[in-house]
Amino acid sequence: MKFFISTITIAVINLILVEYTSGHGMMLSPPGRSSRWRFDSSAPINYNDNENFCGGFGVQYGPNGGKCGLCGDDYAQPTPRDNELGGKYGGNGVIVQTFEDTYTAVIGFKITANHMGHLSYNLCDLDEFKEESEECFAKYTLKFADGSDKFYVGNTIGLIDTTVVLPSGLSCNHCVLRATYTAGNNWGVCDNGVGAMGCGNQEMFKSCADIRIVAPNSKKMSASETVYEAIPDV
């Protein structure tokens, strides 16, 4: 009985520590939907734009069974969720940046509380899929300059600029760029059955930004766009 109680106590303490020491971060270049207000006074304000963490570790891996909203909201929110198209911050999908005549894109993600882990980026082509979905984001997992699809952040706190390779030949009037910051400071069981730091369930943050891509040598397209120049202090 003592062992049983101790096991429960340890599990509860671990969950509390995960929530208390959670990392935080958001995509600022191009600005994610929750962060657009930092560049555009007409956008809805979200002072907690660095907390799009799937409802929190306990919620994501508890009642939601590991699921997360498409753009970092609590999966249990009614759709459209706050950061999805039609939602409080997603709205009608204001285009915040155009990547034109380039094969690569520089993306800026700011980590305000570091807990190791890695960044990854996916692209959803709404011209093709018509609506956001995990299937849409899964079609394009963007690669970094070294050919990998993960960028390990180490102990960095602050803005991290990374260069990703855009899908060859892709042009879209409306694409959604999704950043995912997966923390790596929780102990868990790895795929090989061995326990280690960074394995198992980890806290996740997601940011979605509405962009346009004009591939090199393609026909120019027209779309409504708001240009954001400097990244503000956060």
What architecture (CATH level 2) is domain 2-214? Distorted Sandwich (2.70)
**DSSP 3-state assignment of 200?**
coil
Q: What is the pLDDT along the chain (234 residues), one digit of tens a residue?
A: 443 444 343 344 344 444 444 559 999 999 999 999 999 999 999 999 999 999 999 999 999 999 999 999 999 999 999 999 999 999 999 999 999 999 999 999 999 999 899 999 999 999 999 999 999 999 999 999 999 999 999 999 999 999 999 999 999 999 999 999 999 999 999 889 999 999 999 999 999 999 999 999 876 555 445 556 556 666
| Sequence letter at residue 7 | T
What CA–CA distance (Å, rounded) separates 116 from 95? 31
Beta-carbon contacts of 78 under 8 Å, excluding residues fewer than 6 positions away, are: none
CA distance 186 to 175: 33
Q: Which helix or strand (DSSP H or E) is residue 90 part of?
A: none
